[in-house]
Amino acid sequence: MPAKKKIIILGAEGMLGKAACGLFSTHYDVFPFDMDDFDIRDDKELRSRISDIKPRLTLNCAAYTNVDGCEKNRDLAFEVNGFAPGVIASVCREFSVYFIHFGTDYIFSGEKSSEYTEEDEPEPLSVYGRSKLEGEKRVLSAGGNSLIARTSWLYGPFGKNFIASIIEAAKEKGEISVVNDQVGRPTFTYDLLKCVEWLADKKVTGVIHACNSGRCSWFDFASAAIRFKGIAANVRAITSEKLNRPAKRPKNSVLSITKLASMGYRIRPWEDALKEYIKKYL
Ligand SMILES: NC(=O)c1ccc[n+]([C@@H]2O[C@H](COP(=O)([O-])OP(=O)(O)OC[C@H]3O[C@@H](n4cnc5c(N)ncnc54)[C@H](OP(=O)(O)O)[C@@H]3O)[C@@H](O)[C@H]2O)c1
């Protein structure tokens, strides 16, 4: 039997990284790393792992993802989300390794009245968004074979996520309040990863938006989860102003998936993915 292709997965203990380790293990020999193995800011360690393993693909799922925390820890946010991805891309280029990095809808201001395309000018509202945008720029300017898969509102098994927390709170309290003035595309980690594996097979480079189809507000998303789970709880709609979180979020962060569709890849609607997630994992 021919040897499997090798993949390095960074951030392998996170929500997306853990799912990636499982999904990619079918066709790849997986080399998973997280904080306990080495910090992605450690250039020497990174270089040594990539040069030793010489994978076909490196997938960077590591990031500082605490959006409100980033407001207080600006330096950490820029080091992990902004500078480290550029170094990973450079090392991958040096060893001719294809590199996939994840971007976020939070690089946009949310002022646009229609969906954001890959060509739209980013204008982040938060430190998290600015740090992630810096990461995108550095990955692209490193000049290797790199793909930035921008995604949004991720949920799935492994780690904390919005849906698991909502279901828990609804069961406990019988009533929850959820913002109704931010719209986006909730995305199931496994749907994103299947899409990314397809893109990896084609060695697509540049920037691509990858999310489940359809759109909704956090209120719609929570209401659907409670309905699908069959919980008798009241979901109250509130405004972002009322929640008053440290980091501003875009009101509209719907990422257009037209480019992906034009390449021949269709992702199912978010409701179908949410039903599957709830049935299998909650
Ligand atoms: N979650 C979303 O809604 C969402 C939306 C759009 C885009 N994205 C992007 O998708 C990617 C994956 O997100 P996720 O939700 O799976 O994140 P996550 O669950 O927070 O996982 C990130 C992983 O990276 C690790 N990590 C953090 N700093 C590190 C460092 N300096 N060195 C090595 N490992 C480090 C974390 O370890 P610790 O837990 O120990 O810190 C964690 O295991 C990120 O690029 C994120 O920006 C996420």
The parent domain of residue 101 ranges over 5-161+186-212+255-267
Mean pLDDT of the chain: 97
Q: What is the mean pLDDT of residues 227-254?
A: 95
Is residue 277 domain-resident?
Answer: no
Q: Is the pLDDT of residue 26 over 80?
A: yes
Choice among 116, 128, 155, 277 that is catalytic: 128
Is residue 172 domain-resident?
Answer: no
Is residue 273 domain-resident?
Answer: no
Is residue 127 domain-resident?
Answer: yes
Counting from 1 in the atom list of ligand 1, the atom nearest the Cα of 105 is: 6
- List pocket residues of ligand 1, CB cut-off 6 Å: 11, 13-17, 34-35, 39-41, 61-65, 80, 102, 104, 132, 151-154, 159
Number of domains in the chain: 1
Q: What is the mean pLDDT of residues 135-157?
A: 97
Is residue 282 domain-resident?
Answer: no
pLDDT tier at 139 (50, 70, 90 boundaries)? very high
At residue 159, the pLDDT reads: 86
Is residue 249 domain-resident?
Answer: no
Instruction: Kindly give the distance from the C-alpha atom of residue 135 to the centroid of ligand 1, in angstroms, as a whole number.
Output: 13
pLDDT tier at 51 (50, 70, 90 boundaries)? very high
Instruction: Kindly give the distance from the C-alpha atom of residue 171 to the centroid of ligand 1, in angstroms, as a whole number.
Output: 28
Q: What is the mean pLDDT of residues 130-145?
A: 98
By alpha-carbon position, which residue is closest to atom 37 of ligand 1? 35
Is residue 230 domain-resident?
Answer: no
Q: What is the mean pLDDT of residues 56-71?
A: 98
Q: Is the pLDDT of residue 2 over 90?
A: no
pTM: 0.98
By alpha-carbon position, which residue is closest to atom 34 of ligand 1? 35
Closest CA to 49 of 28, 33, 25, 29: 33
Instruction: Kindly give the distance from the C-alpha atom of residue 233 to the centroid of ligand 1, in angstroms, as a whole number.
Output: 31
Is residue 280 domain-resident?
Answer: no
Counting from 1 in the atom list of ligand 1, the atom nearest the Cα of 12 is: 43
At residue 204, the pLDDT reads: 98
Instruction: Kindly give the distance from the C-alpha atom of residue 12 to the centroid of ligand 1, in angstroms, as a whole number.
Output: 9
- For the stretch 110-129, pLDDT in tens is 999 999 999 999 999 999 99
At residue 1, the pLDDT reads: 74
CATH of the domain at 154: 3.40.50.720
Question: Is 128 a catalytic site residue?
Answer: yes
Q: What is the mean pLDDT of residues 203-219?
A: 98
Residue of 36, 49, 61, 195 best suited for mutating to test ligand 1, as the one with most atoms within 8 Å of CB: 61
At residue 3, the pLDDT reads: 87
